Structure 1
Amino acid sequence: MAVGVLDVGCFSAHLVVVERDLTHPLLSHKVRLRLDRELDSAGAVTAAGVESLCTAVRAARKKAGDVPFLPFATSSVRDSSNAQEVMRKVARRTGVDLKVLSGKEEARYSYTAARHWFGWSAGPMVVLDVGGGTVELAAGFAAEPEFALSLPLGARTLTRAGLTVEDMRAEVHDRLSAAFPRGESARAVGCSKVFEQLARLAGARSGTYAARQLRLKDLEKWIPRLAKLSVRERAALPGISRHRAQQSLAGAVVAEGLMKVSGHDVVDISPWSTKEGLLLELVERSRGRRESAA
């Protein structure tokens, strides 16, 4: 039985349908969104933003056909000041009820995804996920994390705050130090577009299956360079996509803070994150139903 997930984020709505193997999806359909441009000064999604959400959800529903899919929205919708109104409008206009995951749930699913990507031999892991609105952190030794945390320190959040690099560093360090235990003995894994793009910027190979790492010493060299560049100049750099260029500096500062506070000089990159963690859970549920029916 095929199952799917619709990941509605700030920059895209991404529908992925799988049967058993996540590395070979039956369908991967992405519609571009720019919800970062559709948040007003009060943090509410504008009417134009709601319309773009409805268009993207309708397209995903049409593509999915008869395949059941779980639609969830990340912090761009979840943390907006009119989140409930937005989800009611999307449901009324599209027939799809968007779900929202808590930050801790996102952290747990990211951990599950990273654990499956690297395998059970990877040992204890600390998983770092930098999103637009929030950062998610999880750590553990087994299938489920022993620790999960979400904080409003995402790349978009800090960019909109208009802080200097040093102010961002202080904010990130203070908030993380008060909440996150150090984990020098654990394997550090970065599982977000921010970590992927920073690793590429620092010279890592591109490609989903390429073994990639981000080193703190390289990141520390790039932060002052990014600070001096315009948004257009950042977008021309390897690994920095045009729509993420504006918040790339804040993303780099948050990633640096996560590595320092968690006590890691090197982070391994996982291409799987929350969406894949959800898919893994749905595949397991589907397998359980088939076995029960047999």
Structure 2
Amino acid sequence: MSGGPGQVGVLDVGCFSAHLVVVDDPALHPVLSHKTRLRLDLSLDGNAGVRRSGVDQVVAAVREARHVAERAGVRELLPWATSVLRDAPNAAEVFAEVERRTGVALRSLSGVEEARLAYLAARRWFGADVGPMVVLDIGGGTVEVAAGSTGEPVLAASLPYGARTLSRCQVDPEVLRASLLESMDALGDLRGHFAVGCSKVFQQLARLSGARPQRDGPDVRRTLRVEDLRRWARRLAAMPDRQRARLPGISRHRAGQSAAGAVVAEALMTAAGHDEVAICPWSTREGLLLTLIGAGDDEICRVA
């Protein structure tokens, strides 16, 4: 997975972007970063299958990323698709067409593996000194939870409560809380763990609740409190998308699922028994990069 010596590359194809990142050190400083905007949320049919317009978007983005990587001398990279493609009922057909038209074979990770990678990323970011850690990661299609006391999690789970999923099916918040509580109870008591929120959903909700903006850099400490989340969940539910998109931290393309994201985050934090989470700027993609580059447990610790 390299271009220059020691380089590793990942092409992360998700609902809102196809992001090519190449790094050459365990601190994951990008030597190449290229992003193509996608709107696959607008290209799903009633069964969450990917329509022709969505396939064409993915093909164009993957083809462009491949050309960018080749021009930069990155000959090998790992292209992977998140749940919007992985869990689509026509995923096999989509993957086959993308490979036929671009020469790039997309791969997918299971939800459990995504949970494990998010944990690896958060553990490397915050370090061993925080002790037992639980990582909560809200994606569009699923929610990932992982916990452990060392470099590897002792438990990892994926639950079908992503922000996009819930915004499409309008689940009652009380039903969601009950379902998440039941699922989290099966994972054991996580209240004594250091709680971490990964993903764009947590980052944007933290910014909305007063955390410093991303332009201040990744090393700034950011947190999200459940009391702030509950207040904003109610306000977001009462706003149209255009009004949400004008709020701090809420991007225009994610405005439609921001209310559902707030409901999921509040229910997940409550079910995990935590009133506050520390925001981690790294998640599954960074966990995958760390795995590919072979960083040891003690090679990086960046406590925000």
TM-score, normalised to structure 2's length? Answer: 0.90
Separation of aligned partners in 2, 1:172 and 1:157: 15
2:280 partner letter: S
Residue number in structure 2 paired with 1:191? 198
CA apart distance, 1:123? 1.1
Structure 1 unmatched runs, 5+: 287-294
Residue number in structure 1 paired with 2:32? 27
1:51 partner letter: D
% identity of equivalent residues: 58
Separation of aligned partners in 2, 1:244 and 1:167: 24
Structure 2 unmatched runs, 5+: 1-5, 297-304
Question: Aligned in 2, Cα 1:11/1:63: closer, same or farther, shift over 3 Å?
Answer: same
CA apart distance, 1:93? 0.5
**Contact 1:172 1:254 (C-alpha < 8 Å) held by counterparts:** no
CA apart distance, 1:165? 4.0
- Determine helix, strand or coil for the equivalent of 1:245: helix
- Residue deviations 1:26-49 (CA, integer Å, cap 9, x gap): 011000001111111122101111
Q: How does 1:53-72 map to 2 (within 5 A)?
A: 53-65=58-70, 66-67=73-74, 68-72=76-80
Separation of aligned partners in 2, 1:165 and 1:150: 19
CA apart distance, 1:180? 3.2
Residue number in structure 2 paired with 1:292? none
CA apart distance, 1:125? 0.3
Separation of aligned partners in 1, 2:77 and 2:34: 13
1:282 partner letter: L
Between 21-30 and 254-263, the greater mean CA deviation after superposition:
21-30
Between 108-117 and 60-69, the greater mean CA deviation after superposition:
60-69
Separation of aligned partners in 1, 2:57 and 2:276: 38
- Determine helix, strand or coil for the equivalent of 1:256: helix
Whether 1:280 aligns to 2:290 is yes
The size of the alignment, in residue pairs, is 285
Aligned with residue 230 of structure 1, among 219, 225, 240? 240
Question: Aligned in 2, Cα 1:285/1:139: closer, same or farther, shift over 3 Å?
Answer: closer
CA apart distance, 1:23? 4.2
- Determine helix, strand or coil for the equivalent of 2:147: strand
**Contact 1:180 1:261 (C-alpha < 8 Å) held by counterparts:** no
Residue number in structure 1 paired with 2:259? 249
CA apart distance, 1:22? 3.8
Separation of aligned partners in 2, 1:179 and 1:238: 36
- Regions of 4+ moved over 6 Å: none
1:192 partner letter: S
Question: Aligned in 2, Cα 1:31/1:22: closer, same or farther, shift over 3 Å?
Answer: farther
CA apart distance, 1:69? 0.8
1:80 partner letter: A
CA apart distance, 1:2? 1.0
Aligned with residue 219 of structure 2, among 204, 209, 222? 209
- Determine helix, strand or coil for the equivalent of 2:144: strand
1:11 partner letter: F
Separation of aligned partners in 1, 2:33 and 2:123: 22
CA apart distance, 1:100? 0.3
TM-score, normalised to structure 1's length? Answer: 0.93
**Contact 1:4 1:279 (C-alpha < 8 Å) held by counterparts:** yes
1:262 partner letter: A
CA apart distance, 1:160? 0.4
- Determine helix, strand or coil for the equivalent of 1:209: coil
Residue number in structure 2 paired with 1:86? 94
CA apart distance, 1:170? 4.3
Separation of aligned partners in 2, 1:38 and 1:145: 35
Aligned with residue 74 of structure 1, among 63, 78, 82? 82
